[in-house]
Structure 1
Amino acid sequence: MYKENNLIVNSEQTNLLKELTSSLETCNRFYFSVAFVNFSGLQLLLDALKEAKQRGVEGKIITSTYLNFTEPKALDRIREFENIDLKIFVTERNIGFHTKAYIFEYDDYFKVMIGSSNITQSALKSNVEWNVEIISKNDESFIQQVISEFHGLWDRSTVVDDFFIQDYKQFIKNIDRVTSSQTMIYEKAEYIVPNSMQHKAMENLERLRNLGEKKALVIAATGTGKTYMSAFDVKKLKPKKLLFVVHREEILAKAKETYEKLLPNSNLTFGMLTGTRKDFDADYIFATNKTISRYYHRFNSNEFDYIIYDEAHHVTAETYQHVIDYFKPDFMLGMTATPERGDSQSIFGIFDFNVALEVRLHDALEDDIVVPFHYFGITDIDEIDLSDVPVDDLDEITKRLKVNERVDFVIEKMKFYGHDGKKRKCLGFCASKEHARYMAAEFNNRGIPSSYLSGEDDVPVREARIAELEDDLNELQVIFTVNIFNEGVDIPSVNTVLMLRPTNSPIVFIQQLGRGLRKYQDKSFLTVLDFIGNHTKTFLIAIALNGNRYYDKESLKVAISTGFAHLPGATHIQMDKISQERILAQIDQEKFTSMKYLKEEYFEFKKMNSGRVPDLLMDYYKYDGAPDPVRFIDKEKSYLNFVAKVEKDQQLQQLLAYESFEKVLKWLSSMLPLKRIYDFIILNYLLEHPSVTIDEVEQEILKWVEMVDEDSVFHAMEFLNQKFFDDTQKKRVPKLANLHGERLTRSHLFEQLLANPNYKRYLYDVIEYGLFRYEREFGEDYLGVPHFKLYEQYRMMDAALLSNFRKTHSSFRGSGLLVNGKDYFLYIDLHKEADIKESINYNDKIIDRIHFQWETPNKTSQGTDQGKNIIFNQDRGINLHLFVRKFKEIEKNSIEPYIYIGKGNTISFKGEKPIEVQLELENTLPQQLYTELTEKV
């Protein structure tokens, strides 16, 4: 039981919250003394405190009035636990209170944690904190001193009774009233600075403009500050005339207000162009798309230096097109949360494929652009049985969810977990209109003022309800709805989200979760209560929360078992044991690569696509949480083949009947997701130009990445010329380009394909998707040669292309070891297949996060050149690149990729044929990846 003293820090591996909850689950008694307690931290401990109460464990908690940081709401909540005695140390002017100590009593020893952490979400999960854990026997002098000191503080502290609570609440209220006006200083322009997203977007906009580009697109989740970002860029660029176009009139005034706030004393005039206002002469004009489409001829075509289109996913509409075609600004910026594609034209094409930045939900959490969320996965009541109901049978689901006991259960959990802020401002997502109507009526019957909204309610009704919810003085606490708040609705003050229906789409789950993540004054977190039933698709919750584009059974199971520890900041995900076991069992049973599963995933996405056949890969790009279409490609060699098969679409089948087109489509698709962007940048240029020179290629590449070496540019041109193809590959892949010196021209076949609009549409789509997915996953960093990014997935065959191998790529083969000059590529399976009989049992393993054990191919001896290169790699200038995978196959007939963990250097070796080598990694393995590769679930 006794162990060495332990330093507890917040990391991917662990945090103080985890240590506290595990100790509360096992101790006999506990004593806390902390300077302050916030509800944001207390909420994370509620379940552990409840379990301790059920075990009969008693505790004492001391906190203080120091700096008035302790929240009355947190004190109220602690007092509800009959097993906890609560006192407060009332500080004076000359006496502060700084203790942060957590003491746990066991049968014959004590565990003490003393350090820097108070009870707040950040202190328990994400702040840089040091807490020392000491375990000592009951009779040791250190423990006696700690307990004596605690009792001394206890005797000097005040009991938190009704009188104290009321007095303290009034005191805090008075402070809030006095200090609220002082916070206005942060609204002054000189105090507002760009957040990380805004700063990066501005840097990339500047880079694109320096390359001569005149258009760009920014994709960022709702609440990340796109309008402020554009205003910062305008402030920096100082255009004389600006046009800001908005799709919805209700947010126009807010945009204008933001610009006026950031550009005071600028001698500029700000005006609006709407149905009721016509400020034609203003320097900076904020217009609705409908009004500007009627009056654009009132301006010269070069009137505006800078034009911004907010909600830019609408620009493919005809009303926008006339305006875009007419004006010739120095720069045009589009901003959107969801880059939807119109039927006629790609939004990316309208902005010349220049994406200055893309920020999705998990990026926003990592950069602290949105508030963290506390997600509680709660097993639904036994009376709700959805195990035999298809997830799209909404009538039957509604019928089974309309249970009074469930309403009581939901309210009970809402009261148990509470919410941030004084007034509950809650959105409840239901299965149907009838379900929403029922929930609102039942909540009202139980004294919780509620309303419901559906697609049948017009905009004024919705806006009125939202205003009531946001108003602290209005009694409305909950709005129940179906899907109308999934996107495009901004209710910043929402502090609670209820998931009351089976999750059948990760996209919808993320959209609904995102409704409460916008930052708002005095809001520090969002509470999410998800009532998890026994329906067959419960595991989709894990896919949505995991946040990774690619996933497999193993990574999902590890994420669940570790409480999604890889999620950044103070975000917290907690599922009860029954929900965890239910989801893990479903993941074990599900076959993610089977045609049955892929078809279900496809048709669910089709519903999200308004029922239209999503025949383009870019259809998937617009939604956070969308399926990975590359898995459809893996099944049928091209996405179009997959769609034609599952839709039984004769037109697509006819299109694919042209063998050369199908071969080209399959070849381009086989490179997805891209690991090197240069080749597709060249093809993208050739879609619109008959030829391209090496200098033009380099210029095009610099629009996507910060720099590129000339050898890699020429290697890409040679590759497209099929210089490294063997005869079999040349028969299988039609040639798209011919190299003449330093100029690449379209092949005759490529010309023919592009002359057919249908063929061009689908070739264009594969290339476009490849480029933008690369940009999302790799960013603009130059990766050098070989072109590998740490912790990305690779296949063995990728090494030839990415290391500029100058021979036939199909000859670049080996049994776990490939060599190109001074670059050695080591491919390692951590768990060998039991049914494969090897002539030798390789003992390859991760020793710890910085050391690795690898055994060379079994014919390698220390005396050979290859053996010496491996064991003396640093002296000989040899780069040992390590690629690992946990299993070769997780699902039958589906080969797993490798993960690049960087370079390693030999520090010791022994043995012959094979040589056992101890390697020190140049990059410490991230905790999440280390856990995934080593954890057994």
Structure 2
Amino acid sequence: MKDVIKEYNSIWDYSVEANDDFIQNYEDFLSKLVSSSMTQSLIFENPQKPNYIIPNRMQKRAMENLDRIRSIGEEKALVIAATGTGKTYMSAFDVKNFSPRKVLFLVHREEILKRAKETFETLIPNQGISFGLFTGSNKDKNADYLFATIQTMSRYYTEFKPDEFDYLILDEAHHATSPSYQAVIDYFKPQFTLGMTATPERSDHINVFELFNNNVALEVRLHDALEDELVIPFHYFGITDIEGIDLSDVDIDDMAEITKRLKVNERVEFIIEKVDFYGHDGEKRKCLGFCATVEHARYMTDEFNKRGYKSICLSGEDSVESRSTYIQKLENEDDELEFIFTVDIFNEGVDIPSVNQVLMLRPTNSPIVFIQQLGRGLRKHQSKTFLTVLDFIGNHSKTFLIAIALNGSRYYDKESLKVAISTGFANIPGATHIQMDKISQERILEQIDNENFKSMRYLKEEYFEFKKLNQGHIPLYLVDYLKYDGSPDPVKFIDREKSYLQFVAKVEKDDHIKELLLDNAFEGALKELSSKLPLKRIYEFVIGKYLLTNDSVTVEEARHEILKYVDDVAVDSVRHAFEYLNQDYYDNVQKKGKLKLFDHDNGILVKTEAFNRVLENDVYREYIEDTIMYGLFRYEKEFKTVNYGVPHFKLYEQYQMIDTALLCNYRKIHTAFRGSGLLANENDFFLFIDLHKEESVEERLNYKDKFIDQNYFQWQSPNQTSQGTERGKNIIFNKDRGISLHLFVRKYKEIDGQREPFIYIGRGNTVEYEGEKPITVKLELEHEIPSRIYTEFVEKV
């Protein structure tokens, strides 16, 4: 009901009354249309609400961030968003906002160009702006807004003045690291450059983030796109493969053997039966089938054609023209072609908006590839309202990777995955529906139970699978993991070996990397910075980034730098960050084990001599920069620009007990800020709660910490607390006494032998209390817990 009312109100707020003025304006517009020879290019803009096409939530956020980035003097930015989320419209909205005199829109492929031009013409009409193409066959050189292919522009760019264009847009910006792009980009000097990409992958070892001065205006991955309704929902059916297909003893990478075992007539019959049973949305079926190898794709094509299902096999061996022809045939409502079987050419970059069915016909060995293939059918199109996905799940040893891909969170644990499976992935936003048959569900749950996601064996498998997607290059940098939706979380590798490079050296047995780490100062600096990942506040790393290129920084200068990333920050928090970087709050063990990078004196922070020496080495410096940039990128993605104040807590974020010391500006040794379930700093009380106790049966039965519902929580104070003490009064009369009770909850203390983080569920206020030593209180939560998080806490698997 709340969602319905919210949606109604948003439509109401945007609506205008069709009064006499509105009707008169519209009549005037119609009379112009009759007399105008430019009938096609005029669009009615309501003077009361001039934005006849309004930006979606993603586009609004991107524009706000682009404005903020420009306001601090930056001239470049990158937007990362899944295919189909409206990046081209977003760029047109921002151009309209920026009002440049001339624009250059550069693309890698010509088929995108005309659509981009039409988008701009639709969004920026009636302003006397001319739009033109600059391609092999069109040379509208004098157009105000010029849409060009890189192939053509790289031959003719010197015919333009370097400052010809005020605004430069690079679509598919991950190609911008190529020499042809580099020459063009280096030549032009626009006021602002915007890059857009679905996958910011590194090519030729040049980092695409660096091309845009590490300014990421927005990152929208699959779950964000579903939540914001930027793509259509999908109906996923996990279907247990036929009994005759046994993959239990096959190496997941042995595609030749997998192909041999999948080429079974009985399986083809089974797939066709399910294809017909589950159907598709739309008049004509337009289906992509993802196969194990080209041989497998050809086999499926032949067998489907034999049975009267018009199919074609497309692979990297086919020409661009041939692929384009068959894609058009599939999209054509009157053509007989219904199925394209392929291996990987549609993983990213090739766009077939009207696809309404996807078949997963090979075992999933990578969450990244699974998400890319799923994404091929999620584009909005007038012919469909949802995508049907049929996944034929075999008995191979890595079936659980499907659950990781569908769960959508890079930061998962065993328990959250099991809850997701048992609840039909209720955590996925929107109208998406996921259903696995009982056998597949049980098979996956059993595999998850038997897998240790923290073990070195598992981490190595994750790492090497990611390396394959990195074209076999060693992924040396943390920012490499920001490339793909579904990438592993590299902080797990850091937790294992104290720094990412240490982990790579260990699993690769690489002598060159090992040699780098022989320098104690470099290794110490990496460990010191890595120990702070993932960041829970951004201040320290912003200051660290500034000091990479400056000798010193004052509190005011630091605050100015931090305000480039967040809406506001208190001066006292900046001072606390200086003190923290000076290791004021480290105990003796921490000081002994970590290199000191910064010195703080009289309100000024400087680099230590040891850290300066590390930064003088270009190779060392690159890895230090990578660690800092990864921290900043990940923070921006998870926390955005919000000023969370002090304490610096974000709802439903993960925290360890010691994090709270940093985030409440605690000015004593931080390692002392742990122990019992209740810690305090002035008027902030932090309640750390384990829902499932691991002590004796008697203690478990007597323990009364629990969710009453999504709005109320029952908590027991430490055993020695009585109602008459100051602490007791602060708990039971917290609101009257100005005491904030912050609740941190976790389901289990440990999973797979590793300590679990707490989830911050916000502040609670005591509404009922009873008992002595301990006091049992009923807390009303200031924020109703979202269903998906509540389910994860209370669901028993």
TM-score, normalised with respect to structure 1? 0.79
User: 3-state SS of the aligned residue for 2:638?
Assistant: helix
Give the Cα–Cα distance (whole angstroms) in 2 for the partners of residues 835 and 539 of structure 1: 33
Q: Which amino acid aligns with 1:929?
A: I
1:357 maps to what in 2?
218
- Per the TM alignment, residue 619 of structure 1 is displaced from its structure 2 partner at its CA by 1.0
Question: Does 2:619 align with 1:728?
Answer: no
2:188 maps to which of 309, 317, 327 = 327
Q: Which segment is superposed worse, 468-477 or 811-820? A: 811-820
User: 3-state SS of the aligned residue for 2:549?
Assistant: coil
Q: Does the aligned pair in 2 maintain the 1:785–1:803 contact within 8 Å?
A: yes
Q: Does the aligned pair in 1 maintain the 2:150–2:181 contact within 8 Å?
A: yes
1:911 maps to what in 2?
771
Q: Which segment is superposed worse, 874-883 or 902-911? A: 902-911
1:812 maps to what in 2?
673
Identity rate of aligned residues, in percent?
66
- Per the TM alignment, residue 837 of structure 1 is displaced from its structure 2 partner at its CA by 9.6
Q: Does the aligned pair in 2 maintain the 1:840–1:858 contact within 8 Å?
A: no
- Per the TM alignment, residue 768 of structure 1 is displaced from its structure 2 partner at its CA by 0.9
- Per the TM alignment, residue 729 of structure 1 is displaced from its structure 2 partner at its CA by 2.1
Question: Does 2:497 align with 1:636?
Answer: yes
Q: Which segment is superposed worse, 875-884 or 270-279? A: 270-279
Q: Which amino acid aligns with 1:371?
A: I
Q: What aligned pairs does 1:149-548 form with structure 2 within 5 A after superposition?
A: 191-548=52-409
Q: Which amino acid aligns with 1:915?
A: I
1:759 maps to what in 2?
620
- Per the TM alignment, residue 326 of structure 1 is displaced from its structure 2 partner at its CA by 2.5
1:118-145 per-residue CA deviation (whole Å, 9 max, x = no partner) reads xxxx9xxx999xxxxxxxxxxxxxxxxx
TM-score, normalised with respect to structure 2? 0.92
Residue 698 to residue 404, structure 1, CA distance change in 2 (3 Å)? same
Give the Cα–Cα distance (whole angstroms) in 2 for the partners of residues 318 and 725 of structure 1: 48
1:136 maps to what in 2?
none
Residue 401 to residue 451, structure 1, CA distance change in 2 (3 Å)? same
- Per the TM alignment, residue 598 of structure 1 is displaced from its structure 2 partner at its CA by 1.0
- Per the TM alignment, residue 870 of structure 1 is displaced from its structure 2 partner at its CA by 1.5
- Per the TM alignment, residue 273 of structure 1 is displaced from its structure 2 partner at its CA by 2.3
Give the Cα–Cα distance (whole angstroms) in 1 for the partners of residues 595 and 137 of structure 2: 59
Give the Cα–Cα distance (whole angstroms) in 1 for the partners of residues 765 and 647 of structure 2: 17
- Per the TM alignment, residue 344 of structure 1 is displaced from its structure 2 partner at its CA by 4.5
Q: Which amino acid aligns with 1:236?
A: N
- Per the TM alignment, residue 699 of structure 1 is displaced from its structure 2 partner at its CA by 2.4
Give the Cα–Cα distance (whole angstroms) in 1 for the partners of residues 650 and 352 of structure 2: 38
1:78-97 per-residue CA deviation (whole Å, 9 max, x = no partner) reads xxxxxxxxxxxxxxxxxxxx
- Per the TM alignment, residue 580 of structure 1 is displaced from its structure 2 partner at its CA by 0.9
Q: Does the aligned pair in 2 maintain the 1:197–1:367 contact within 8 Å?
A: yes
- Per the TM alignment, residue 352 of structure 1 is displaced from its structure 2 partner at its CA by 2.0
1:694-748 per-residue CA deviation (whole Å, 9 max, x = no partner) reads 2332222222222222221221122112222233322222121222333322221
Residue 676 to residue 345, structure 1, CA distance change in 2 (3 Å)? same
User: 3-state SS of the aligned residue for 1:375?
Assistant: strand
User: 3-state SS of the aligned residue for 2:745?
Assistant: strand
Q: Does the aligned pair in 2 maintain the 1:188–1:261 contact within 8 Å?
A: no
2:48 maps to what in 1?
none
Q: Does the aligned pair in 2 maintain the 1:450–1:479 contact within 8 Å?
A: yes
Question: Does 2:771 align with 1:931?
Answer: no
Structure with bigger gyration radius:
1
User: 3-state SS of the aligned residue for 2:546?
Assistant: helix
1:857-916 per-residue CA deviation (whole Å, 9 max, x = no partner) reads 222222322222112211211111111110011212x11100001111122222332222
- Per the TM alignment, residue 839 of structure 1 is displaced from its structure 2 partner at its CA by 12
User: 3-state SS of the aligned residue for 1:909?
Assistant: strand
Q: Does the aligned pair in 2 maintain the 1:338–1:623 contact within 8 Å?
A: yes
1:668 maps to what in 2?
529
- Per the TM alignment, residue 632 of structure 1 is displaced from its structure 2 partner at its CA by 1.2
- Per the TM alignment, residue 838 of structure 1 is displaced from its structure 2 partner at its CA by 7.0
Q: Does the aligned pair in 1 maintain the 2:657–2:673 contact within 8 Å?
A: no
Q: Which amino acid aligns with 1:683?
A: G
1:180 maps to what in 2?
none
- Per the TM alignment, residue 642 of structure 1 is displaced from its structure 2 partner at its CA by 0.9
Give the Cα–Cα distance (whole angstroms) in 1 for the partners of residues 578 and 213 of structure 2: 22
Q: Which amino acid aligns with 1:690?
A: D
- Per the TM alignment, residue 509 of structure 1 is displaced from its structure 2 partner at its CA by 0.4
Give the Cα–Cα distance (whole angstroms) in 2 for the partners of residues 740 and 834 of structure 1: 48
User: 3-state SS of the aligned residue for 1:863?
Assistant: coil
1:88 maps to what in 2?
none
Give the Cα–Cα distance (whole angstroms) in 1 for the partners of residues 527 and 735 of structure 2: 41
2:20 maps to what in 1?
none
Give the Cα–Cα distance (whole angstroms) in 2 for the partners of residues 546 and 575 of structure 1: 13
Q: Which amino acid aligns with 1:811?
A: A
- Per the TM alignment, residue 287 of structure 1 is displaced from its structure 2 partner at its CA by 1.6
- Per the TM alignment, residue 187 of structure 1 is displaced from its structure 2 partner at its CA by 8.8
Residue 919 to residue 466, structure 1, CA distance change in 2 (3 Å)? same
Q: Which amino acid aligns with 1:901?
A: I
Q: Does the aligned pair in 2 maintain the 1:185–1:191 contact within 8 Å?
A: no
User: 3-state SS of the aligned residue for 1:419?
Assistant: coil
Question: Does 2:583 align with 1:704?
Answer: no
2:762 maps to which of 886, 889, 902 = 902
Give the Cα–Cα distance (whole angstroms) in 2 for the partners of residues 926 and 933 of structure 1: 11
- Per the TM alignment, residue 188 of structure 1 is displaced from its structure 2 partner at its CA by 7.3
User: 3-state SS of the aligned residue for 2:650?
Assistant: coil
Question: Does 2:458 align with 1:600?
Answer: no
Q: Which amino acid aligns with 1:905?
A: N
Q: CA RMSD in A?
A: 2.2
Give the Cα–Cα distance (whole angstroms) in 2 for the partners of residues 687 and 408 of structure 1: 62
- Per the TM alignment, residue 669 of structure 1 is displaced from its structure 2 partner at its CA by 1.3
Q: Which amino acid aligns with 1:884?
A: V
Give the Cα–Cα distance (whole angstroms) in 1 for the partners of residues 715 and 724 of structure 2: 18
Q: Which segment is superposed worse, 767-776 or 690-699? A: 690-699
Give the Cα–Cα distance (whole angstroms) in 2 for the partners of residues 801 and 497 of structure 1: 48
2:514 maps to what in 1?
653
- Per the TM alignment, residue 840 of structure 1 is displaced from its structure 2 partner at its CA by 11
- Per the TM alignment, residue 856 of structure 1 is displaced from its structure 2 partner at its CA by 1.8
1:695 maps to which of 553, 556, 559 = 556
Q: Which amino acid aligns with 1:385?
A: D
Give the Cα–Cα distance (whole angstroms) in 2 for the partners of residues 647 and 558 of structure 1: 35
1:126-172 per-residue CA deviation (whole Å, 9 max, x = no partner) reads 999xxxxxxxxxxxxxxxxxxxxxxxxxxxxxxxxxxxxxxxxxxxx
User: 3-state SS of the aligned residue for 1:827?
Assistant: strand
2:720 maps to what in 1?
859
1:452-488 per-residue CA deviation (whole Å, 9 max, x = no partner) reads 1111112111111111111111111000000111001
Give the Cα–Cα distance (whole angstroms) in 2 for the partners of residues 490 and 595 of structure 1: 38
Q: Does the aligned pair in 2 maintain the 1:186–1:192 contact within 8 Å?
A: no
5+ residue gaps, structure 2: 9-39, 46-50
1:549 maps to what in 2?
410
User: 3-state SS of the aligned residue for 2:177?
Assistant: coil
1:316-350 per-residue CA deviation (whole Å, 9 max, x = no partner) reads 22222232223221111111111112445422222
User: 3-state SS of the aligned residue for 1:687?
Assistant: helix
Residue 839 to residue 289, structure 1, CA distance change in 2 (3 Å)? closer
Q: Which amino acid aligns with 1:565?
A: A
Give the Cα–Cα distance (whole angstroms) in 1 for the partners of residues 676 and 577 of structure 2: 26
Q: Does the aligned pair in 2 maintain the 1:792–1:899 contact within 8 Å?
A: yes
Q: Which amino acid aligns with 2:255?
A: L
Q: Does the aligned pair in 1 maintain the 2:136–2:152 contact within 8 Å?
A: yes
Give the Cα–Cα distance (whole angstroms) in 2 for the partners of residues 696 and 215 of structure 1: 22
Structure 1 segments (4+ residues) deviating >3 Å? 184-191, 342-345, 834-842
Q: Which segment is superposed worse, 847-856 or 599-608? A: 847-856
5+ residue gaps, structure 1: 1-8, 12-121, 129-183
